Structure 1
Amino acid sequence: MNTSTTDAIDIRDAVKRYGDFTALHSVSLSIRDNEFFTLLGPSGCGKTTLLRMIAGFEDVTEGAIFLFGEEIEKLPPHKRPINTVFQNYALFPHMSVLENVGFGLEMLGHPMQEVRKRAGEALEMVQLSQFAARKPAQLSGGQQQRVALARALAPRPKVLLLDEPLSALDLKLRKAMQIELKHIQRDTGITFIFVTHDQEEALTMSDRIAVMSSGELQQLGDAREIYEQPRNTFVADFIGETNLLPVTVDEVQGGRAACHLPGGQTLTCDASAGVARGARVHLSLRPERVIVAAQPGVESLKATVRENIFVGTDITTIVDLAGGEEFRIRTSNSDRGRARIFEPGAGVFLNMEQGAARLLTD
């Protein structure tokens, strides 16, 4: 985790309207220097709009954007020390790889000797020096993605924006490039702002994540915080897999709450801000934080096994709670020697890890 506290980008109450439609609702956040920062959310949540506002491709309706303390929303894109890597790599087919990487430097008026030197250094950074003379059509999708990245890195921007650059790659290559991108960001020290709708991608790569929905910032934090301590049901449901059970709050005290499910079962667990006595909220429980057992634990729910599904690395057990609610438990196959798999129809207890259950507002 990077520890720099200097802000590369500071966004203050940014609003974006298109006529009567508001794409961004007063978003404020700071992105640190030398940070891999991800804007995460479903299609239409405003993450790409925010990225384009940072780049200068979209005007800011209200609010301000600062780059290392200097206000930039009035600056045209070409005067911002910011580069962007898009979903389609937009490489020039008639140019060699080296010429593609050096094109931006040429447009900035650098001497040809310096263009070749810095383009070569950028290709070396993405491990494509041996392909410098090839044309883009002679490269794989992953190699073309690296060329686009090298072209964006060659001018040595202060901030690099990446708009879902891995979405066109197959799963295996995408996972490899996630690690590669993180290494490049760490080695260059450049602030990366990455846009994706892929939760696993965000968790894998990011120092911090901003989760967005409907043009609003839902939660900002590191990967573990976002996953383990979601602020609301949207974040819990969007980040990974969770069980969301309707409950009624009976008592709240010191960040803990007693509640009951529709079937009458009671439970005491952590509560997020805004959970109040008498409220109808949701209980969030990750499938991997629960153990199916024959005897109750400290915090347990009674259930009946419906079925077990083998999914390769894991076994998913689907159970029914007393009120009829469906609940899923995921058990790693590496735990088969310790974890018992119960047959359909068996009465069981769902024993929760300490701190696993959390009450969330909508």
Structure 2
Amino acid sequence: MAEDQTINPAIEIDRVVKRYGSFTALNDVSLTIADNEFFTLLGPSGCGKTTLLRCIAGFEDISEGAIRLYGDDIANDPPNKRPVNTVFQQYALFPHMNVQRNVMFGLQRLGYSEMDARGRAREVLDLVQLLPFADRLPAQLSGGQQQRVALARALAPNPKVLLLDEPLSALDLKLRQAVRLELQQLQQDTGITFIFVTHDQEEALTMSDRIAVISDGRVQQVGPARDIYEEPNNKFVADFIGETNLIDVAVTGVSNGMAACTLPGGAAFTCPAAQGAHQGHGHLSVRPERVSLTAPEKALITGHVQRLIYLGTDMHIDVALSDGEMVKARVQNSQSAHIPAQGAQVGLDFEEGAARLLID
């Protein structure tokens, strides 16, 4: 991906609105996606991410706004006139054609000769490590191999942008994890801009150059994975990306991006504040892995261990505060780890810089 994303944008989504009757699926969406970027649209089911992808592909018309591809407005171009290709959740391979013929089919429809289509098909099959399987039928392939055939077919015409609509959803967990790495490497090898749609936070965090978090047809936050995770803009982003504690606090003041708060139990606490934070009631976001257990008399807040959850590498500890609010801590399992007993009183501290005041 280009380091400066103001240079040579691949896709510009400019104040796009998409309505279905009285329902607004996309509401004033603006995004700039850089050339050679792995960009992910992340959000829950029904948030509008697939609708946006279909608008870029030309399968849906937009109600307002503009979509530009390398500076050219493509909002009114039919799908076959847009230099983009899409990989869907269902791979839709022709069952009676072998792998090579499945890849050649679209090329021949575009006017490639038999010889040229065969040569290009073999190039992309080699790229996705399926050349030895060129003569097999789709039914003779695993789910991961079928997914790679669909990728090869989409890459064959050399699209400027590749759109991927939850293409890993049909794969089991271990295969999904392996294919994530393959996709990331494939994007780097081809230099093609990838726009990936998923509801899986782990997929987004591990694969993407940048992520756009979408909710109710609106973009909530855009940025690199680390920024989205460490510095969420609001409660939705913090809660949707990974796991977080949202602790009710009284905000006594906000100045220069920092908030002064009163924690449950009365301790004063100062932390970074999201844009728009103000005096009054607020929510402190702290990731469970940034919460540490300590002696109650030395802690910011105290509570009693309500539940211990063993997860192999980690132990999740649910701590009930005096007001009934629950705070989760995550402790890595090791020989030296001290795990308190259920019902024990414990103190909780936060790592420096780990807490952030959020708006709703």
- TM class, shorter-length: over 0.9
Amino acid of the structure 2 residue aligned with 1:309: I
Confirm or deny that 1:281 pairs with 2:282.
yes
Number of corresponding residues = 358
CA shift, 1:260, in A, is 2.2
Amino acid of the structure 1 residue aligned with 2:324: G
Alignment match of 2:135 (pick from 127, 133, 157):
133
CA shift, 1:261, in A, is 3.9
Partner of 1:258: 260
Partner of 1:328: 328
Q: Describe the SS at the equivalent of 2:341.
A: coil
Q: Describe the SS at the equivalent of 1:99.
A: helix
Q: Which moved more, 1:255-264 or 1:107-116?
A: 255-264
Q: Which moved more, 1:157-166 or 1:288-297?
A: 288-297
Using the size of structure 1 for normalisation, the TM-score is 0.96
Alignment match of 1:188 (pick from 173, 180, 190):
190
Equivalent runs, 1:198-277 vs 2, <5 Å? 198-277=200-279
Amino acid of the structure 2 residue aligned with 1:94: H
Q: Which moved more, 1:34-43 or 1:301-310?
A: 301-310
RMSD of Structure 2 on Structure 1 (CA):
1.4
Amino acid of the structure 2 residue aligned with 1:350: L
Structure 1: gaps (5+ residues): none
Aligned mates of 1:229, 1:296 — CA distance in 2: 30
Amino acid of the structure 2 residue aligned with 1:294: A
CA shift, 1:4, in A, is 5.3
Partner of 1:80: 82
Q: Describe the SS at the equivalent of 2:122.
A: helix
Aligned mates of 1:102, 1:246 — CA distance in 2: 59
CA shift, 1:344, in A, is 2.4
CA shift, 1:347, in A, is 2.4
Aligned mates of 2:305, 2:246 — CA distance in 1: 18
Aligned mates of 2:225, 2:286 — CA distance in 1: 17
Alpha carbons 2:15, 2:66 under 8 Å: kept:
yes
Aligned mates of 2:90, 2:223 — CA distance in 1: 29
1:218-249 CA-partner distances (Å, limit 9, x unpaired): 00000000000000000000000001112221
Alpha carbons 2:48, 2:217 under 8 Å: kept:
yes
Aligned mates of 2:104, 2:348 — CA distance in 1: 59
Amino acid of the structure 2 residue aligned with 1:87: Q
Using the size of structure 2 for normalisation, the TM-score is 0.96
Aligned mates of 2:179, 2:97 — CA distance in 1: 24
Aligned mates of 2:185, 2:2 — CA distance in 1: 13
CA shift, 1:83, in A, is 0.2
1:299-326 CA-partner distances (Å, limit 9, x unpaired): 7222222232211110011111232211
Alpha carbons 1:2, 1:207 under 8 Å: kept:
no
Aligned mates of 2:255, 2:339 — CA distance in 1: 36
CA shift, 1:24, in A, is 0.4
Identity of aligned residues (%): 63
CA shift, 1:39, in A, is 0.2
Amino acid of the structure 2 residue aligned with 1:55: A
CA shift, 1:264, in A, is 3.4
Amino acid of the structure 2 residue aligned with 1:304: H
Partner of 2:357: 359
CA shift, 1:263, in A, is 4.3
